[in-house]
Amino acid sequence: MIIYIAKRTIIAFVTIIVISFFSFIIIQMPAGDYVDFYLDIALCNGMLNERPTPEEEAIIREQFGLNRPMIVQYGDWMWSMLTSGDFGYSYGRLETVGQLISDRLPATLWVGAFTLALSWAFAVPVGIYSAVRQHSVGDYTFTFLGFAGIAVPDFLLALVLMYMAYAYFEQSVGGLFSGNFQDAPWSTARVWDLIKHLFIPGIVIGTAGTATLIRILRNNLLDELSKPYVVTARSKGLVSWKLVLKYPLRVAVNPLVSSIGYILPQLIGGTIIVSVVLALPTLGPLLLQALQSQDMMLAGTIVLVLGALTVFGTLISDLLLVIVDPRIKLTDV
């Protein structure tokens, strides 16, 4: 186990380096840079009467360090990260990238962890019920709700739930805290206020993913329930619920466990519009703003974080698969 984890950690480190290189290149592919974006905004807002000359623009780029070759900028960025943990400076936010990410990372992890837990807590029992009670009224009902959850846009569902929460339950909507708990010290009341605000983002972000997990678990479990070992165990009088939970479920749940690798970054980067609608202080809106303004240090670091979460989630899923399914063994392959 230790040797396996060590090898996977080395591979993960190399993978993250490769991800950082390609993300840095892709972010700089659009025409122009942050200086062009800044000057366009300044001209539109009347801060400048005319565009600076090419010589003046060259001086500005030199001050930002944007006049150097792209590979040199990437090398300096990686070297500062590896040696001093410095992720660079955000031109648009006028703050260090590390400070911006550290401010938003806790909220991002709270939303992601709560959504993942809520999705699993609902998908597993519903998937089991739909497989065991195939073609029942409950199975058809959950199937309809699942397809509806996939079809309805997340931002529309967010607006509907925000209206219902405010109109019928008099609950503050938007953000992760009520006004009086925004900057308050941590306490039981503040934790409970956070949990209440996490339900709407958890439901909205996790709806499509939960519906997908239900269908995957249902189909896999149906396939396992028809296999000879289940038929034999049932003929020997093994209790139905014990039979399902002890044997077929451990095999059918494998795709759910292996999905952790892509669910973690998807919860963070794939819900940008929902985060904007719900005013969530997560990394999603920050990434959108960085891409729009071509703030390459900030955007590249967030993409790097998403890639690291993918690699980390894949490692977790590999280890959990060994625990869930005894047929899987960790090898040196």
Smallest CA-to-CA distance from 300 within 320, 322, 278, 283 is with: 283
What's residue 327's pLDDT? 67
Sign of the C-alpha dihedral computed for residues 42, 47, 53 and 55 taken in this order: negative
Write the single-letter amino acid at 39: L
What's residue 267's pLDDT? 64
What's residue 35's pLDDT? 78
Q: Which domains does the chain have, with CATH numbers?
A: 32-86 (no CATH), 104-324 (1.10.3720.10)
Query: What is the residue-wise DSSP string for 236-297?
Result: TT--HHHHHHHTHHHHHTHHHHHTHHHHHHHHHHTTHHHHHHTT--SHHHHHHHHHHTT-HH
What's residue 264's pLDDT? 65
What's residue 328's pLDDT? 66
Supply 1's token pair.
């186990």
How would you write the pLDDT of the chain (333 residues) with one tens digit per residue? Answer: 677 777 878 888 888 888 888 878 877 777 777 777 777 777 777 777 777 788 877 887 887 777 778 888 888 888 877 787 778 778 777 788 888 888 888 888 888 888 888 888 888 899 888 888 888 898 888 888 888 877 888 778 888 888 887 777 777 677 788 777 877 888 888 888 888 888 888 888 888 778 888 888 888 888 888 888 877 877 777 767 777 777 788 778 877 777 776 666 666 655 677 888 888 888 888 888 887 777 878 888 888 888 887 788 787 877 777 777 666 666 554
Q: Are 12 and 315 in contact (CB under 8 A)?
A: yes
What's residue 261's pLDDT? 67
What's residue 185's pLDDT? 83
What's residue 333's pLDDT? 47
